[in-house]
Amino acid sequence: MIETCPRCSTRLGAPLRSGRQVCANCGWSTAPLKTKSSDTPISKPAQSTPGRILQLVGRIVGRVVRYVRAWLGQQWATLRQHRPQPKAQTGQLMQGLADRLSALEKSIPEDVTARTWLTAEQAFQKLGGDLQNPDSVIQTSDGVTTVNFTRFRGLNSEEAYAAFGLEMNRSRRQSNKAWLRLK
């Protein structure tokens, strides 16, 4: 079995069922062509010269038409890419985007920061405590109980934080995220 074609050096594929190998590039084959009689050489059927000329001219014209069509397609695509946008449409587009942005900004509630999640330190400061002062205390909403930061951070129940006007999320606390927010 031969691996490369002896005529064009292209790698040959698997042999056919008959065992013959054929080159896909140049058409070379391991089996010789069979003839009807061994003394007459194989020749193409005679074709008149005008018929061959017409066939050749038809192929040339077909190739020229395909080439011109491809070239015009490329030129058209290039022209469409570089076509300038009308300024009126661009101005209207920018104005429309500015209007939408303005409407979105107006739809944002003013008190967004009050509903964000806070750490224990941030919540203590929001309620009026000072982290720099170890004697600093905050009061519950009813004003009955006061706690310092160490005791505030150690509270474990939702009711205890609710007394300060805070909402607690246990799953956020366990995953070390900000876990308190103002009600």
Query: Model confidence over 36-94: pLDDT tens digits?
Result: 555 555 555 556 788 889 999 999 999 999 999 999 999 998 888 877 665 657 778 88
Nearest to 161 by CA among 117, 110, 130: 117
φ, ψ of residue 163 to 5 degrees: the values are -65, -25
Supply the pLDDT for residue 180. 93
Span 128-142, average pLDDT: 92
* pLDDT for res 27: 86
With vertex at residue 74, the alpha carbon angle to CA 89 and CA 87, rounded to the nearest 5 degrees, is: 10
- Rounded CA-CA distance 115/175 in Å is 19
Q: Residue 149, SS3?
A: helix
Considering 3-7, 13-17, 61-65, 100-104, the range whose residues carry the highest mean pLDDT is 61-65
Q: Under a CB-based contact definition with an 8 Å cutoff, are residues 12 and 3 in contact?
A: yes
